[in-house]
Chains A and B, each alone.
Chain A
């Protein structure tokens, strides 16, 4: 099997540390932040059916990792997946349409918040089974290796998925077969309403190391660090050096889902406040950019405003969009 060539796009990214690049990170994170705020608003306003698991606080992980990818690389996502989808290039209007169960949604309204898939951006789907997409991501990496496409697959999952056996089955196989897959574990500290230390014995990244998988741990609130680390792991995988495991330490600002309001029985307000004020991914990047004199507050404000406008118009589009025809209910059961 010939060694896949590194694409020029990645070479450019690796060399590029210019300000435009970082402003783009900021823009992507702001977009996710505003998207999720809007989801919260729609949901609490009874305009969005179902469940909503917000990604607020974890934006640097999705953006840092997806910025290290090519547009045709694969990702699989989770129930808390809006950030991954947007970071991989999904459009806001079709995302909102899907969340509201509308016809122009990415899945024609059949998937909803927890199942957004978008072939065109390499998104093989969010998954509502914890750990459920580990096989899919690993299988996509197997395809990439067999077909010699040079693509890599990213498997996003939360630390809660470390309780699922399939993760270990496929990590073992990925290492045996040297598959170009990177397991990105977002440790946001809570498996739903339970601190991960109550559910997870031992060292988190030691699990992957046990299989001999190349592993790194990164501050998941610092998008630059996530990006640089992800780029290293992606490069290795693309060059045929095998899978990687990236543990990102992060924090879920909100509840497990929008309705999870009273969280006092599992974590303190002080803890939440500390992450929000001291370790916010947008603030960390903004402060760094300003400190280095790479940009001005007015530029960041403008990016933020543009992101907000995009979100408002996307939500407006989705709200006005039609529901699917009833005749669609048994369409697409079989190909």
Chain B
């Protein structure tokens, strides 16, 4: 929607990430990557393939399997003039680095009275349905979204991924950047020219009149599919993607809901105390007098992600389940 009017080409989400990193590393010698199997291996998802060839092992650094250590080292390097991008292979592993993100990175600027800064990015993944079971499938971006001092990006398209990652690298604060691992092969239009996307600006992924579906990351595509199904029964759904959970573009969510009078919030994190709860509260508060129905929310089922495909598929919102919920909200049986 917010595409610039320049020449574009179709690249994958993974390629968009790689381009953002390469461009920023070319611009700024302070930017470097560290993580497990980021160099020759280019990560298990091959997102970083080719970077070590261009930038060398000094700037694309393979590390031991030490999430807390490499995150802590990133904090210290960021405080002293570098701009590290630390790769945490699976979002589930952020728990190993929690102290470094929550008690160190997030608080250094404030605790030092504004003197020290932590310009670092933690890139990691989210998303289930890859049959990876309970410790490789979670979407834990709500944990970081809870913490003052951190910013959190959850891009849903190659275009957003590239523009937001460039912004994240240039930001003077610690940013957690969550990539949906199911989306790495997804293609989309990306301008030939360089661009950035500011944080805290939601994107209207689809215009509609009857209901607002706020969706993040992987769930944007689910919401778009549901919107198509809704259209077939005469319900016009608007899909709004906040793109960053913090800063959160509250006004865009409220304005869209005021227009449609109904809101459904869909996010792949656990539903309990999740991103959906925060966004639903923002909408309920800001658009209360315009609502024709309670704000509903859908997240991952509150269970550890099961391995069996027959079970795993039940835990994540789908086009059909979102369609059904939206239909009900619109008063259609």
Q: Chain A: residues with CB nearer than 8 A to chain B? A: 74, 76, 105-111, 115, 117-119, 124-125, 127, 129, 132-144, 146-147, 153, 165-166, 169-170, 172-173, 176, 331-335
B104 touches A135 (CB 8 A): yes
- CB neighbors of A among B118-164 (8 A): 118-119, 148-149, 151
| A133 to B116 alpha-carbon distance, docked (Å) | 14
Which chain A residues border B75 with CB–CB below 8 Å? 135-136, 139
B72 touches A334 (CB 8 A): no
A173 touches B69 (CB 8 A): yes
| A141 to B80 alpha-carbon distance, docked (Å) | 9
Which chain A residues border B318 with CB–CB below 8 Å? none
A-B contact pairs, 30 of them (CB 8 A): A106-B112, A110-B111, A111-B111, A111-B113, A118-B115, A124-B116, A129-B99, A132-B104, A135-B104, A138-B69, A138-B73, A138-B76, A139-B73, A139-B84, A140-B77, A142-B76, A143-B76, A143-B77, A143-B81, A146-B32, A147-B82, A169-B64, A170-B66, A172-B69, A173-B69, A332-B113, A332-B114, A333-B109, A333-B148, A335-B117
Chain A: which residue is nearest B114 at the CB level?
Answer: A332
Interface size class of chain B, counting residues whose CB lies under 8 Å from the partner chain: 35 or more
Name the 5 nearest CB pairs between A and B, nearest first. Answer: A135-B72, A139-B76, A169-B69, A108-B113, A136-B76
Which chain B residues border A166 with CB–CB below 8 Å? 68-69, 72, 99-100
- CB neighbors of A among B43-85 (8 A): 58, 63-64, 66, 68-82, 84
Which chain A residues border B78 with CB–CB below 8 Å? 139
| A117 to B107 alpha-carbon distance, docked (Å) | 12
Question: How distant is B208 from chain A, measured CB to nearest CB, in Å?
Answer: 33
Which chain A residues border B24 with CB–CB below 8 Å? none
Interface centre among A108, A133, A169, A173, by most chain B C-beta atoms within 10 angstroms, is A169
A331 touches B114 (CB 8 A): yes
The reply to whether the CB of B172 lies closer than 8 angstroms to some CB of chain A is: yes
Chain A: which residue is nearest B102 at the CB level?
Answer: A129
Which one of A127, A132, A138, A147 lies within 8 Å of B81 (CB-CB)? A147
- A146-B58, A332-B112 known; 4 new pairs, CB 8 Å cut-off, are A137-B76, A139-B72, A173-B66, A334-B109
B113 touches A176 (CB 8 A): no
- CB neighbors of A among B236-290 (8 A): none
Which one of B64, B73, B111, B119 lies within 8 Å of A135 (CB-CB)? B73
Which chain B residues border A119 with CB–CB below 8 Å? 112, 115-116
Question: How distant is A238 from chain B, measured CB to nearest CB, in Å?
Answer: 16
Which one of A127, A153, A334 lies within 8 Å of B149 (CB-CB)? A334
A139 touches B77 (CB 8 A): yes
Which chain A residues border B82 with CB–CB below 8 Å? 139, 142-143, 146-147
Question: How distant is A42 from chain B, measured CB to nearest CB, in Å?
Answer: 21
Which chain B residues border A76 with CB–CB below 8 Å? 76
Contact flag A142-B72 (CB < 8 Å), given A107-B113, A332-B113, A335-B173: no
Which chain A residues border B68 with CB–CB below 8 Å? 135, 165-166, 169
